[in-house]
Structures are given as structure tokens and as C-alpha cells.
Amino acid sequence: MIRETVLNTIREHHLIEKNQHIVIGLSGGPDSVCLFHVLQNLAKEWPLTLHPVHVNHKFRPGDAESDQAYAEQIADEAGCPCRTFVYDCSKIAAEEKITSEEAGRKVRYQAFAEVAAEVAAEGIPRENIKIAVAQNADDQAETILFRILRGAGTDGLSGISYRRFDEYGNEIIRPLLDVSKAEILAYCTEHDLRPCIDHTNLEPIYARNKIRLNLIPYLEKEYNTNIKDTMIRMGKTASVDKDFLWRQALETFADLVKEKSENSVLMDGAKLRRLHRAVRQRVFAKAFHSIGLTEDLAFIHFDGCEEIAFHPKPSARFDLPRGYYLTKVYDDVKAARAAPLQTRTVHVAVLSKEDYEKRKLPKDKHAVFDYDLIRAAFGENAEAQITLRKRMAGDFITIFGGKTKKLQDYLVDRKIPKDERDSVELVAINREILWILPHQGRGRYAARYKLCEDTKKVICIEINC
């Protein structure tokens, strides 16, 4: 029965194809042992190559080592050597200020990704490597109920997906998602698999355990004997809506993007504001996901993004977790993250004009000024005063005709977005800017010290990355 259910799930959701490599989480508990046994049998027909992975979280001294030994034993007996990872999850949780459950989940998926990378390094195409985990139908019901209690939206109510991609591009699949816990336990008994039992799962010490052990039995007794099936049906309905809305959002996002870089996405503000809020929120999520923010977005964040999209101020900004933010750029809207700090320095050389011309340095990769004019303005040690920095109050640059212009005015005239102005790199002596390095186009040089026919020596400035 389970075998047919799993096969139907695999086919319906395109989880596995013949000749693929399956990295499978093997905790030693009933769910993972059942999945391993089913995939072993399937591997003989398709065929498949299984790569079992066991993670010892060090939560239960003694029992954890027994689970590890059992997982390694059944993997060896199946001819699939087990890759074992050991993590002190309690220590990780304390250091990173997260729950022990979160720490355990984090290290598990890190381990799976590491093994997937090892398989890929052997020449197996990424699309032929899957990571299989053993969440079941009961887990689905518990997850949806848990999310209801936390006030989840439509995406959250859709529950656990049959397949998703992790941050490394690995496809994670859940072939047991249509199989109940009771069916899994019956399968293990029928095939004499004798999995390990984690007795902490029988104690109401975690929120998920409390839902499984206390809340669901109460709801079954007092309100709905089929509460699990009800939750699962609701999840499937929500999943259909989620799929439609995301398709709309992804198609729309491609049309909205005006500029894209590693750290930001600039979107057409007028088009964005015309969208239905349900689609617009997913566009925000997609924009942030494309620059690295793949989680930690909640209702309060989307609410803040909504406010910015319609804000009258041309540089309004809303900060999100981990240094990400949404900002108006005049009429448009930009999702961005703080650019990583660059440790660059300037190399300053005094050369004859002839030696400089022989070098034929790339344009926009250096700046050159008349040495005598610089020294007349800043003294004999002028070259030693040259620094690479970001903007400061009072900065100015000389333009043609001997006039000066405030750096602030220059940046505004160039339509450099407000959120980017502090990241523009400058070469300066005191408050006078000699060179505004290229940012969204060409840079700008101080006109007062440009070379002329009478120039004999030059100060050449190059940037060392």
C-alpha cells in the first residue's frame, strides 16, 4: 500500500526519475527507515543510487549514539555506506541564539547539501541529484495547524511542499507526504524494520510536540474526529491559490525589473503600485529572495513595504532583517541590501608626463592630475594627504570655470539614489574631492588640476582592490 502511494506521489509531483542520485536523510526513526526501505526497493527497478546521511545532534547522550550505529548498520547492509555528521546542536543554539529545533534543522540541511555537493563533484549533473526527507501526512497536518496558531497567510497555510530548492540550488523532495504515521508504523512492523524510537517525541517539551500530543487529540475528541484530514485538505486548497498567485508574481516581476545587481533590484514603481496587493507582496518577496533574503519576512515586513511603495517622499525607506531594506528611488522602488565593506586602498605615484603617457592605463581605472597645481594648493607633501573614503559633510569638487560644487548637489543632479550616496567612493584631500569613482556610469575628476600643455609632472592615482 505505502509503495503504491509513494510511487503515485513521485509521479504526480515529478519528484524522482530513473538513474538519479538520492541523498536521503536517515535518522534511524520510523519515517526515515520506511522511506529508505521503499526507495531501496524502487532503486532495483528504476535504478537509483542512494546516499544515506545520518546527523547526530548530540541531544540524547547514549541514545543518539545508538541511533547512529543503527542507521549506519542498515545502510551498510543495504550496500549504501552512510555518511555521518556529528554536531553539538545545544552549543550551536546557544551561540546563535536560536532554538535547539532550529539548530538541528540547520545542521541537517547543511549536511545534506554537503553530500549533494560531493556527489556533484563526481561529475553527476545537479538536476540528477535529489535530497529526500521523510516528512509525512501527520507532519503536514501538524505544520498547518501550527501555522494557523501563528497567524500564517495563504502561503503558510499551504503547508509543507512536495518539492523545493535550498539556497544552494539542491532540490529537496518529500515522497512520504501522502502517507500517515499509522501507515508508516504498520509498514515497519510488516517488514520487520525495527526503527529507533526517539522518546523525546512523546514528551510535550516542544511546541510541535504539544500540538501532536495535546492539541490534535483534543480537537479530534471535541470538534472533528478527522481534523488531520481537514488540515491536509485545507493545505491542498491553499497550495492551489499559492501556486496561482506566485505564477502571477513571477511573470509580473520579470516585467517590473528596470535594473538588477548582486545587491539590489530596481522596480518600476508605477507598475508595482497598480498590482493587487496579494501579487505585489509576492513581488517584494521575489525581489528580496533574488538578492539573498530567503526567509524571515513576516506580515509586519510586507506591511512596511506597502507603505514605502505608496509613500510620497522620493527616498522613503523601510529596514528589514539582516541589513536588507526597501526604498523609494524617486518614483521607482528598490529592494536592496547593504553592500559588503570593501577594503581597497589608493596607490599614488609621481611620474613625468611622458612616463605616464607610456603606461596607457585603462580609462576610469585611474585618475591623473597636474603635480605642480596639486602641490601649489595643498603643499609639498600633497600626495601623502590623498585618501580613499566615503562622503563627509562639507565635501566639494571643482568644476569647469574654476567654480566649486557641493558633493551633495552633484549626487542629486546625477540622480544617485539617496540610499547609495554613502557608498560612493571618493579620492580626496581634506574636504576637496579630486576623483569621484565610477558609480552608475563614469566618474568625475576635479577640473582645477587637469593636465595641460605646460604639465611636466603628474600625480597618478590607482585603486588597489
Can you state the percent helix, strand and coil of the chain, rounding each to 5?
A: 50, 20, 30
Query: What are the Cα distances from residue 28, in Å, to 71, 134, 148, 197, 320?
Result: 5, 11, 30, 8, 39
The better pLDDT of the pair 160, 203 is held by: 160
297 and 280 belong to one structural domain: yes
More confident position, 199 or 280 = 280
Task: Evaluate whether residue 64 is within a structural domain.
Answer: yes
Residue 123 has pLDDT above 80, yes or no: yes
Say if residue 272 is in the same domain as residue 412: no
- Residue 377, classed as helix, strand or coil, is helix
For residue 176, the model assigns a pLDDT of: 98
Q: Are 209 and 100 in contact (CB under 8 A)?
A: no
* Predicted local distance difference test score (pLDDT) of residue 341: 60
The pLDDT score that the predictor gives to residue 153 is 87
Higher pLDDT, 359 or 5: 5
Within a domain: residue 49?
yes
Task: Give the containing element (helix H, strand E) for 458.
Answer: strand 457-464
What average pLDDT does the segment 279-301 reach? 91
DSSP string, 306-370: HHHHT-SSTT-EEE-GGGEEEEEETTEEEEEEPPPP---EEEEEEEEHHHHHHH-PPTTSEEEEE
Residue positions forming the annotated binding site for ATP: 27-32
- Tell me the β-bridge partners of 132: 24, 173
For the chain, counts of helices (H) and of strands (E): 17, 20
- In this structure, is residue 86 part of a structural domain? yes
Q: What span, in angstroms and rounded, lies between the C-alpha atoms of 307 and 320?
A: 13
- Answer yes or no: do 214 and 299 share one domain: no
What's this model's pTM, rounded to 2 decimal places? 0.74
Residue 294: pLDDT band (50, 70, 90) is: confident
Inform me whether the pLDDT recorded for 339 exceeds 80: no
pLDDT at 335 over 80: yes
**Is 244 inside a domain boundary?**
no
**What integer is the mean pLDDT of 145-149?**
93
In terms of domains, do 266 and 402 share one? no
Q: Is residue 75 part of a domain?
A: yes
Could you tell me if 331 and 384 lie in one domain?
no
Q: Which three cell numbers stand for residue 428?
A: 580626496
For residues 206 and 313, state if they share a domain.
no
Asked if residue 26 is part of any domain, the answer here is yes
Q: For residues 266-289, b (16+ Cβ closer than 10 Å) or e, as one string?
A: bbebeebeebeeebbbbbbbbbbb
| Residue ranges of the binding site | 27-32
Domain count, the chain: 3
Spatial neighbors of 352 by CB under 8 A, at least 6 apart, are: 456, 457, 458
Judgement on whether residues 332 and 354 belong to the same structural domain of the protein: no
Is there a single domain that holds both residue 266 and residue 128? no
Mean pLDDT of 176-196: 95
Burial (CB < 10 A; 0-12, 13-18, 19+), residue 299, is: exposed
Residue 285 within any structural domain of the chain: yes
Q: Which domain holds residue 282?
A: 261-337
pLDDT of residue 340: 65
Domain boundary among 278, 311, 337: 337
Over residues 6-22, the mean pLDDT reads 96
**Is the pLDDT assigned to residue 465 strictly greater than 70?**
no
Question: Do 329 and 371 share a domain, yes or no?
Answer: no
Phi and psi at residue 455, in whole multiples of 5°?
Answer: -65, 130
What's residue 200's pLDDT?
78
Residues 210 and 267 in one domain: no
Q: Last residue of a domain, which of 337, 366, 386? A: 337
Q: Are strands 426-429 and 21-25 parallel, antiparallel or unpaired?
A: unpaired
Q: What is the CATH number of the domain that holds 453?
A: 3.50.40.10
Grid cell listed for 456: 611636466
The number of angstroms, rounded, from the C-alpha of 384 to the middle of its chain's C-alpha atoms is 43
Domain co-membership, 224 together with 279: no
pLDDT of residue 270 exceeding 80, the answer is: yes
| CATH, residue 331 | 3.30.465.60
**Please, what is the average pLDDT of the chain?**
92
Out of 279, 311, 337, pick the residue that ends a domain. Answer: 337
Same domain as 30, residue 172: yes
| pLDDT value for 137 | 97
Question: From the CB of residue 334, how many other CB atoms can be counted at a distance below 10 Å?
Answer: 22
At residue 105, the pLDDT reads 92
Q: Which pLDDT band, with edges at 50, 70 and 90, does 311 fall under?
A: very high
Which pLDDT tens digit goes with each residue over 203-232?
Answer: 887 788 999 999 999 999 999 999 999 999
Q: Is pLDDT of 344 > 80?
A: no
Is residue 223 in a domain?
A: yes
Q: Give 419's pLDDT tier (boundaries 50, 70, 90).
A: confident
Q: What pLDDT sits at residue 199?
A: 79
For 52-99, write each residue's pLDDT tens digit. 999 999 888 888 999 999 999 999 999 999 999 999 999 999 998 888
